[in-house]
Amino acid sequence: MTPRAPTVTIGLPFYNAAAYLDNAIQSVVNQTFSDWEMILLDDGSTDGSAAVARRWASDPRIRLILDGQNEGLPARLNQIARLARGRYLARMDADDVMAPHRLATQVDFLESSPETHLVASFAYVIDTRNRVYGFRGRVKLPETLREAIRATAIIHPTVMARREWFLQHPYDPAWRRSQDQELWLRTLFTSQFAVIPQPLLFYRERGLPYAAKYRRTAAELQRLVVRYRPRLSGPTVAYYWLLFSLKSFLYTLLSRLKLESWLLHRRNRTLSPEERREAETLLRRGLKRGDTGPTKPAPAVVVTQLFSVPESLLFLEGQIPYFREQGFEVEVMCAPGQAAREFAARTQCRLTPVPFRRTLSPLLDLRCLFRVYRHFQESRPRIVHANTPKAGLLGMLAARLAGVPVRVYELHGLPLESQRGPMRRVLWLTEWVSCRVATVVLAVSPSLKKQALHYRLVTPQKIQVLENGSCNGVEAVTRFNPERIDPADVAELRRNLRLSGRVIGFIGRLTRDKGLSELVEAWAVLRSRYPDLTLLLIGAPELGSLKKAPQITAWLADSRVRCLGFVPDIERYYALLDVLVLPTYREGLPQVLLEAAAMRVPVVASRVTGAVDAVVEQQTGLFCEPFSSGSLVRMVGRYLEDPELARKHGEAARQRVLDRYSPPAIWAAKYRLYCQLLDAKGSPSQPIEPVTA
Distances (CA, A) of 227 to 31, 216, 222: 40, 17, 9
| Residue whose C-alpha is closest to residue 74's, from 8, 169, 191, 185 | 169
pLDDT at 180: 84
> Residues 2, 4, 8, CA angle at the centre, nearest 5°?
130
AA letter at 504: I
Strand 160-162, strand 88-91: pairing: antiparallel
Strand 132-136, strand 118-126: pairing: antiparallel
Count the residues in the chain.
693
Please state the φ and ψ torsions of residue 600, each to the nearest 5 degrees.
60, 30
| Residue whose C-alpha is closest to residue 94's, from 167, 203, 200 | 203
For 517-540, b/e burial (b = at least 16 CB within 10 A) is: bbbbbbbebbbeebeebbbbbbbe
Distances (CA, A) of 658 to 30, 444, 580: 50, 17, 19
CA–CA distance, 392 with 372 (Å, rounded to integer): 12
pLDDT at 624: 95
For the chain, what is the total number of helices (H) and then of strands (E)? 26, 22
pLDDT at 297: 43
AA letter at 55: R
Cross-strand pairs, 464: 442
pLDDT at 171: 94
Distances (CA, A) of 295 to 20, 56, 298: 17, 8, 9
Contacts 24+ apart (CB under 8 A), 275-282: 275/135, 276/132, 279/124, 279/132, 279/135, 279/199, 279/202, 280/132, 282/99, 282/100, 282/124
Residue 89 and residue 6 in contact, taking contact as beta carbons nearer than 8 Å: no
0.85 exceeded by pTM: no
> Residues 120, 125, 130, CA angle at the centre, nearest 5°?
125
Helix (H, G, I), strand (E, B) or coil at 685: coil
Cross-strand pairs, 387: 410
* Positions of the chain with pLDDT lower than 50, given as ranges: 1, 208-212, 262, 292, 295-301, 682-693
Helix (H, G, I), strand (E, B) or coil at 179: helix
Residue 674 and residue 328 in contact, taking contact as beta carbons nearer than 8 Å: yes
CA–CA distance, 137 with 199 (Å, rounded to integer): 8
Please state the φ and ψ torsions of residue 630, each to the nearest 5 degrees.
-65, -45
Query: For the chain, what is the largest distance between any 2 Cα atoms, rounded to a whole number of angstroms?
Result: 97
Which H, E and C letters describe 334-395, residue by residue?
A: ECCCHHHHHHHHHHCCEEEECCCCCCCCHHHHHHHHHHHHHHHHHHCCCEEEEECHHHHHHH
AA letter at 598: A
AA letter at 237: V
Strand 97-98, strand 193-204: pairing: antiparallel
Residue 82 and residue 93 in contact, taking contact as beta carbons nearer than 8 Å: no
CA–CA distance, 193 with 185 (Å, rounded to integer): 12
413: left (phi over 0), alpha (psi -120 to 50) or beta: left
Burial degree of 484 (CB within 10 A; 0-12, 13-18, 19+): exposed
CA 316 to chain centre: 11
CA–CA distance, 208 with 127 (Å, rounded to integer): 12
CA–CA distance, 77 with 165 (Å, rounded to integer): 13
Residue 456 and residue 431 in contact, taking contact as beta carbons nearer than 8 Å: no
Cross-strand pairs, 64: 40
Under 8 Å CB-to-CB from 472, ≥6 apart: which residues?
314, 315, 316, 317, 318, 319, 591, 663, 666
Half-sphere exposure of 350 (CA within 13 A, CB side): 26
Helix (H, G, I), strand (E, B) or coil at 672: helix
Distances (CA, A) of 634 to 175, 478, 533: 71, 34, 15
Radius of gyration, CA atoms only, the chain: 31
Cross-strand pairs, 561: 535
pLDDT at 299: 43
Residue 37: in which H helix or E strand, if any?
strand 36-42
CA–CA distance, 653 with 624 (Å, rounded to integer): 17
pLDDT at 288: 85
AA letter at 447: S
Residue 519: in which H helix or E strand, if any?
helix 516-529
CA–CA distance, 671 with 385 (Å, rounded to integer): 12
Residue 593 and residue 580 in contact, taking contact as beta carbons nearer than 8 Å: yes
Under 8 Å CB-to-CB from 4, ≥6 apart: which residues?
none
CA–CA distance, 662 with 598 (Å, rounded to integer): 11
Helix (H, G, I), strand (E, B) or coil at 331: strand
Burial degree of 607 (CB within 10 A; 0-12, 13-18, 19+): middle
CA 521 to chain centre: 43
Residue 636 and residue 604 in contact, taking contact as beta carbons nearer than 8 Å: yes
444: left (phi over 0), alpha (psi -120 to 50) or beta: alpha
pLDDT tens sequence across 204-213: 876 544 444 5
Please state the φ and ψ torsions of residue 404, each to the nearest 5 degrees.
-70, 130
CA–CA distance, 225 with 76 (Å, rounded to integer): 25
Residue 663 and residue 473 in contact, taking contact as beta carbons nearer than 8 Å: yes
